[in-house]
Amino acid sequence: MDLPVDDQLRLLQNFGWIEVWDAIFYDWWSIRTSFSILLGFVLALFLYWVHYVPVNWTKDLTEVGYEFLTKNRRKESKIQAINRARKLRKTTNDHMPPPFPNGWFAIAESYDVKRNEVIDVSCLGQHFAVFRTESGDAHVLDAYCPHLGANIAVGGTVRGDCIECPFHQWAFRGSDGQCVNAAYSSSDTAFKNTKLKKWISNEINGAIFIWHHAEGEDPWHIPLVKEIETEEWIYQGRNEFLINCHIQEIPENGADNAHLIAVHGPNVLTGSDLRFTRASWATFLNHWWDASWRSSTNPNEKHIATAILEHSTRLFNKLELHHLDVQANQIGPAYVQLVVTSTFGLVAILQTVTPVEPLVQKVIHRFYSPRKCGFFTKFMIWAESVMFERDMMVWNHKVYLHSPCLLKEDRNIKLYRAWYSQFYSENSKTFAEAKDSMEW
């Protein structure tokens, strides 16, 4: 027989169940409130990271493309295996292009050099002292003091518009490299004919470039990206890699259409190790590419070439999930400006390639976009880094072939090599000369 409601409540009270349910309800409400606060805090941190915290994806020479070398090798460290592989790799000295082409090279990022600070940079077979004066101007001088050979970038002091050597306090003016003072000299003219080489430099688009030319020719200009200077596009992050190859191999990818499907067609979720990119579980998603390449016909811009790429992400090779267009302007031998447009927004990528050694390149990509495109740009940094590391696995182990076996479909590679050859000249240091100068 059913009990009246009042009797049911009295029965529950006798057993204390109402208090139990009240406690459960309030505990649940408290937990839910705490979880909501925590979730809101985490979401706020995520949104702050997306829109205000730049990404820094950095890999050194040993981190990409060498994993297979140490498999089942217990007695050999990874670094030992990599060094051995690098030494054993064939290098065709007789036909290898000069390792240091003529052109502009980024030797530092702007934020690396603070006011009244100096940094030591080794690249292009040279040592540079890169410093910023109190007024904010960046200068680049030869690093070795002509007095007794000290490296002025190691322990040197920036004073006004000069850099002072740490060894004997000789001071060199940043604007022309002239020695303007020797602290212990009793003469004001004894050092008037002493100077350091002043390198032509240009701080633009977030980097400090120097002009390197074996024949001493005058430089062409680097295009300013005004949206970066006006901060219409904000800095979203960067990646940095060290790669074991000749500098010409890296931008050659822009003219190599066939490699796009072979290397970059498989699902990005499979990662960068080419041994696993064609995993059967990942075939539901792939990347479709189309590309063209041409050099400029403007006689004043013969140092510029343009690659146009189309990319789409496809589900089961049919349904297009995402489409983007890329215009990549290669400006000289070592600098590329890319603009990526898609339904999710716009991203600008600035690529610099700097020869650290004849066969070691430092590649940096800096990413810029409107602040509202922060999430898409962060995704682009990850995806571009994964795809670039796939190329690195090839570059780190290939040899440069002077006369490759090319098909008619590879015609852009032939055109590219003819275009790139303009950056070598009679007095360009040969591969053998550059290699010998770095061995001791």
Q: What is the pLDDT of residues 28-54, one digit of tens each?
A: 667 777 777 877 878 888 777 788 899
Check residue 428 and report its DSSP letter: P
Question: What are the residues whose beta carbons fall under 8 Å from the beta carbon of 223, sequence distance 6 or more?
Answer: 329, 331, 337
> What is the rounded average pLDDT for all residues in the chain?
90
Q: Which of 4-18, 41-55, 198-212 has the lowest mean pLDDT?
A: 4-18
pLDDT (tens digit per residue) in 120-175: 999 999 999 999 999 999 999 999 999 999 999 999 999 999 999 999 999 999 99
User: Is residue 90 classed as helix, strand or coil in its secondary structure?
Assistant: coil
> Which DSSP state fits 69?
G
10 burial level (CB within 10 Å; 0-12, 13-18, 19+): exposed
In this model, does residue 1 exceed pLDDT 60? no
Instruction: Place 440 in a pLDDT band, splitting at 50, 70 and 90.
Output: very low
Query: SS3 for 42?
Result: helix
Torsions phi, psi for 305 (to 5 deg): -135, 155
Summarize pLDDT for 326-381 with one digit per residue, the tens.
Answer: 999 999 999 999 999 998 999 999 999 999 999 999 999 999 999 999 999 999 99
Alpha-carbon distance 118 to 163, whole Å?
8
Instruction: Give the model confidence (pLDDT) of 47-96 as tens digits.
Output: 777 888 999 999 988 888 887 776 656 556 666 766 766 666 666 566 88
Token code pair at residue 283: 């075939």
- Tell me what pLDDT residue 156 has: 97
Is residue 292 within 8 A of residue 308, CB to CB? The reply is: yes
pLDDT value of position 8: 52
Q: What is the pLDDT of residue 5?
A: 55
Instruction: Tally DSSP H helices, then E strands, for the chain.
Output: 9, 18
Pairing of strands 345-357, 335-342: antiparallel
- Dist. CA 306–CA 325, nearest whole Å: 13
Place of tokens 């498989």: 266
Break the chain down into helix, strand, coil percent, rounded to 5: 30, 30, 35
User: In the chain, what percentage of residues exceed pLDDT 70?
Assistant: 87
Phi and psi, residue 134, nearest 5° = -60, -30
Give the whole-angstrom CA distance, residue 423 versus residue 418: 10
pTM: 0.88
The band of 2, judged by pLDDT with boundaries at 50, 70 and 90, is: low
Distance CA 290, CA 277 (A): 20
Model confidence at 208: pLDDT above 70: yes
Rounded to 5 degrees, what are φ and ψ at 370?
Answer: -60, 150
* Closest C-alpha among 11, 211, 17 to residue 101: 211
Instruction: Report the C-alpha gap between 123 and 196 in whole angstroms.
Output: 18
Average pLDDT over residues 407-419: 97
Residue 428 in tokens: 């360009």
Average pLDDT over residues 22-30: 63
Confidence of residue 254 (pLDDT cuts 50, 70, 90): very high
> pLDDT at residue 243 above 60?
yes
Structural domains of the chain in order of their starting residue, each with its CATH number: 52-91+231-437 (3.90.380.10), 103-204 (2.102.10.10)
Strand residues in 332-359 grouped as ranges (E): 335-342, 345-357
- Write out pLDDT tens, residues 266-299: 999 999 999 999 999 999 999 999 999 999 999 9
Q: Which helix (H) or strand (E) holds 201?
A: strand 201-204
Q: What is the pLDDT of residue 131?
A: 99
